[in-house]
Amino acid sequence: MQIFKIGVIGGSKCNSKILRLAEEVGEEIAKRGAVLICGGLGGVMEAACKGAKNKGGTTVGILPGIKKESANQHVDIPIVTGLGEARNVIIVRSSDGLIAVDGRYGTLSEIAFALRFEKPLVGLHTWNVDEHIIKAETPEEGIEKLFEKMKGR
Amino acid sequence: MQIFKIGVIGGSKCNSKILRLAEEVGEEIAKRGAVLICGGLGGVMEAACKGAKNKGGTTVGILPGIKKESANQHVDIPIVTGLGEARNVIIVRSSDGLIAVDGRYGTLSEIAFALRFEKPLVGLHTWNVDEHIIKAETPEEGIEKLFEKMKGR
Amino acid sequence: MQIFKIGVIGGSKCNSKILRLAEEVGEEIAKRGAVLICGGLGGVMEAACKGAKNKGGTTVGILPGIKKESANQHVDIPIVTGLGEARNVIIVRSSDGLIAVDGRYGTLSEIAFALRFEKPLVGLHTWNVDEHIIKAETPEEGIEKLFEKMKGR
Amino acid sequence: MQIFKIGVIGGSKCNSKILRLAEEVGEEIAKRGAVLICGGLGGVMEAACKGAKNKGGTTVGILPGIKKESANQHVDIPIVTGLGEARNVIIVRSSDGLIAVDGRYGTLSEIAFALRFEKPLVGLHTWNVDEHIIKAETPEEGIEKLFEKMKGR
């Protein structure tokens, strides 16, 4: 059986409403038995990891820096790249599909790479820059649509 | 005297109108004594390098692959990264300012990194995704505005 | 409780004696509850992953290419970098300690990075180039010495 | 006419005898009309760049950090990678041939990559770890042997 890897992309700074959405996204991913991939830091990344762990999931944090201690406390597997923002490419390449939640320029770069590599991509209250981003209003709808898209491949 | 490094970002595939614009961009860069940095491949990159060489400039191509032979014939200094699209970060970091000409998703990732790293950025018939992209209609206007912005720092 | 990440480095081509050693290395790592990190391909990497899975361990493969399918069948978490040999740095940075088994030039680069980053490093029938490589004759001895060194930090 | 790119690898800390050797290496490279590629920092890198500029050569510094100001003052073209030690791969890939002068573990990683990618490689008072490293006692002898090897390809 294939275990899907789902990338959650979003900023390290966001408001509490976005944090709740991100936590739900993590929960939905774990409920479907998928592994959560993210940048491993705070904000959306931390909330999503927390959600995944709430439901017994597995989390991977692909860190920009050189210290594993920079990972949020809900990361099971820290990947320490030391590559700075170039690690964004690895998050996208390692994911079978991605969901963007809010986010600023770093997230925009990841959206661009997801489109470039033709990965299924859902957007939840994020950059609206391309028709290939599947829009969703809720975490449940977003993850549902993402899995449909991945299974259809 | 400081020699500016100007990044030209844009796709490897584009129409002939865009090619002419890119060549002019390269010419304007060289006329100001700046070094042109790009991804080293075809399309906008090749036309811009050609323009720079028309005016006696210097060109650097930061290549995604492992063969220097993949550089277009107008690249003076090929940098062979073998990093694939992760090399986009290096193009942006190595530039004092950038101009985006047309382009698809790869260019969008570079625009995102330029915004992330707070680099002066001009857009010429390209992605219109953020207020910090300085708009221009012609190569001359674009390079003029870019130099003003860089000198004001 | 801290879960150690142990890097196993070695070539994709080796003889059957080395394969048996690598499999035992993987078993010893899993028996101690540590996560195995490697380059995700064949040879020493595959044998070590097989050993870890024999004992119910978890395996991470940090791949050089752009296809997750290039991972050997015993990799639980493929990290798809697309960075070619530059991914060797990530293997070393992500590991709390490493064991080198046999290996050619790629392994030598990883040994060099492990020494550079001052990671505990055990050598089992591998490059003998520096006094800071802890020598071992058997997998059990090697992993035993590696854990002693990591715990002493 | 092909312009050769020669990588000079060596540490950022070394004694004055090594600095003089590195400066001569840079002079010999520039005298042959080749471009010097290096890591762009101090020590061997700075001395080699100084030597190349003494003879009117061109120098490229592939920097590990995110600031172009970290380049030594003799670097013409700073390439700002932000990749840390992963940039060592780029130095090697961008060079048609390399000469190692002294050096510690970072240099050892570059030697390993040069051997891996089958690049002509000369060693001057450096790691003696493989039969494919061409030994030399003086800068002139080293660069002479390196050019012979590159031209024979």
A59: helix, coil or strand? strand
Distance between CA atoms of residues C113 and C98, nearest Å: 11
Asked if the Cβ–Cβ distance from A94 to C79 is below 8 Å, we say yes
pLDDT of the residue at A52: 98
Band the pLDDT of D153: cuts 50, 70, 90: confident
Window 95-124 of D: residues touching A by CB (8 A cutoff) are: none
Residue A124's beta-bridge partner residues? A101, A136
pLDDT in tens, D62-76: 999 999 999 999 999
pLDDT of the residue at C1: 58
- Angle, CA of D84, B97 and D76, to the nearest 5°: 60
Mean pLDDT over residues C122-143, rounded?
Answer: 98
Band the pLDDT of A152: cuts 50, 70, 90: confident
| Chain pair C-D, CB pairs under 8 angstroms | 53
Residue D153 lies in a domain: no
C153 has pLDDT over 80: no
Q: Interhelix angle for A139-151 vs A16-31, to 10°?
A: 40
To the nearest whole angstrom, how far is the Cα of A144 from the nearest Cα of chain D? Answer: 36
Least confident of A92-101, A111-120, A144-153, C74-83: A144-153
Residue A153 lies in a domain: no
Task: Give the CA distances from residue D72 to residues A2, D19, D47, D77, in Å, rounded to whole numbers and listed in that order.
Answer: 51, 14, 9, 11
Q: Is A13 left (phi over 0), alpha (psi -120 to 50) or beta?
A: beta
In this structure, are residues C27 and C99 in contact, taking their beta carbons and an 8 Å threshold? Answer: no
Touching subunits for chain C (3+ Cβ pairs under 8 A)? A, B, D
For position C133, which CATH number holds? 3.40.50.450
Residue B111 lies in a domain: yes
- Average pLDDT over chain D reads 97
Residue A113 lies in a domain: yes
Residue C54 burial (CB count, 10 A): 15
Distance between CA atoms of residues A83 and B89, nearest Å: 10
D26 has pLDDT over 90: yes
Task: Say which residue the tokens 């977003």 belong to.
Answer: A142
In this structure, are residues A6 and A36 in contact, taking their beta carbons and an 8 Å threshold? Answer: yes
Percentages of chain A per state (helix, strand, coil), in multiples of 5: 40, 20, 35
The fraction of chain A above a pLDDT of 70, given in percent, is: 99
Interface membership of B67 toward C (CB under 8 Å): no
Residue C118 burial (CB count, 10 A): 10
Which are the contacts of A131, defined by CB distance < 8 A and separation ≥ 6? none
- Average pLDDT over chain C reads 97
To the nearest whole angstrom, how far is the Cα of B67 from the nearest Cα of chain D? Answer: 8
Q: Which helix (H) or strand (E) holds B104?
A: none
pLDDT in tens, B13-58: 999 999 999 999 999 999 999 999 999 999 999 999 999 999 999 9
Nearest CA in chain D to A86: D83
- Average pLDDT over chain A reads 97
pLDDT of the residue at D55: 98
A75 has pLDDT over 70: yes
Distance between CA atoms of residues C142 and C38, nearest Å: 17
To the nearest whole angstrom, how far is the Cα of A82 from the nearest Cα of chain D? Answer: 6
Distance between CA atoms of residues B136 and B133, nearest Å: 9
Residue D95 burial (CB count, 10 A): 31
Distance between CA atoms of residues B8 and C100, nearest Å: 43
C150 has pLDDT over 90: yes
pLDDT of the residue at A1: 57
Query: Among partner residues B58, B79, B93, which is closest to D94 by beta-carbon distance?
Result: B79
Least Cα distance to C120 among C106, C134, C130 occurs for: C134
Task: Say which residue the tokens 């390290």 belong to.
Answer: A12
Mean pLDDT over residues A40-57, rounded?
Answer: 98
Residue C114 lies in a domain: yes
**β strands within chain B, DSSP E:** 5-9, 35-38, 58-63, 77-80, 97-101, 121-124, 134-136
Burial class (CB in 10 A: 0-12, 13-18, 19+), C52: buried
pLDDT of the residue at C142: 98
CB contacts of A83 in chain D (<8 Å) are 82-84, 86
Mean pLDDT over residues A114-121, rounded?
Answer: 98
Which are the contacts of A141, defined by CB distance < 8 A and separation ≥ 6? none
pLDDT of the residue at C56: 98
Band the pLDDT of B2: cuts 50, 70, 90: confident
Burial class (CB in 10 A: 0-12, 13-18, 19+), D114: buried
Positive or negative, the CA dihedral D69, D70, D72, D77 is negative
On whether ipTM exceeds 0.85, the answer is: yes
Residue B129 burial (CB count, 10 A): 19
pTM value is 0.98
Distance between CA atoms of residues D66 and D83, nearest Å: 8
User: Which structural domain range is residue C33 located in?
Assistant: 5-148
Higher pLDDT, D153 or D130: D130
- Token pair in block for residue D41: 């920092």
pLDDT of the residue at D1: 58
Which are the contacts of C19, defined by CB distance < 8 A and separation ≥ 6? C43, C44, C47
Least Cα distance to D10 among D107, D130, D146 occurs for: D107
A153 has pLDDT over 80: no
Interface membership of B94 toward A (CB under 8 Å): no
Residue B153 lies in a domain: no
Burial class (CB in 10 A: 0-12, 13-18, 19+), C137: exposed
Asked if the Cβ–Cβ distance from A82 to D82 is below 8 Å, we say no
D124 has pLDDT over 70: yes
Mean pLDDT over residues C67-71, rounded?
Answer: 98
pLDDT of the residue at A80: 98
Band the pLDDT of B1: cuts 50, 70, 90: low
CB contacts of A66 in chain D (<8 Å) are 84
Band the pLDDT of B152: cuts 50, 70, 90: confident
Distance between CA atoms of residues B39 and B25, nearest Å: 15
The fraction of chain A above a pLDDT of 90, given in percent, is: 97
pLDDT in tens, B107-132: 999 999 999 999 999 999 999 999 99
Residue D8's beta-bridge partner residues? D99
Burial class (CB in 10 A: 0-12, 13-18, 19+), C63: buried
Residue A111's beta-bridge partner residues? none
Write a three-state SS string for B21-63.
HHHHHHHHHHHCCCEEEECCCCCHHHHHHHHHHHCCCEEEEEE
Band the pLDDT of C106: cuts 50, 70, 90: very high
Distance between CA atoms of residues D37 and D78, nearest Å: 10
Residue A80 lies in a domain: yes
Band the pLDDT of D152: cuts 50, 70, 90: confident
pLDDT in tens, B49-105: 999 999 999 999 999 999 999 999 999 999 999 999 999 999 999 999 999 999 999
Domain count, chain B: 1
In this structure, are residues B101 and B125 in contact, taking their beta carbons and an 8 Å threshold? Answer: yes
Residue A152 burial (CB count, 10 A): 7
In this structure, are residues D113 and D86 in contact, taking their beta carbons and an 8 Å threshold? Answer: no
Asked if the Cβ–Cβ distance from D79 to B68 is below 8 Å, we say no
Q: Which helix (H) or strand (E) holds C112?
A: helix C105-116
Least Cα distance to A40 among A66, A2, A17, A20 occurs for: A66
pLDDT of the residue at B123: 98
Mean pLDDT over residues C38-43, rounded?
Answer: 98
Task: Give the CA distances from residue B91 to residues A104, A148, B88, C141, D109, in Å, rounded to whole numbers and listed in that order.
Answer: 20, 36, 5, 47, 24
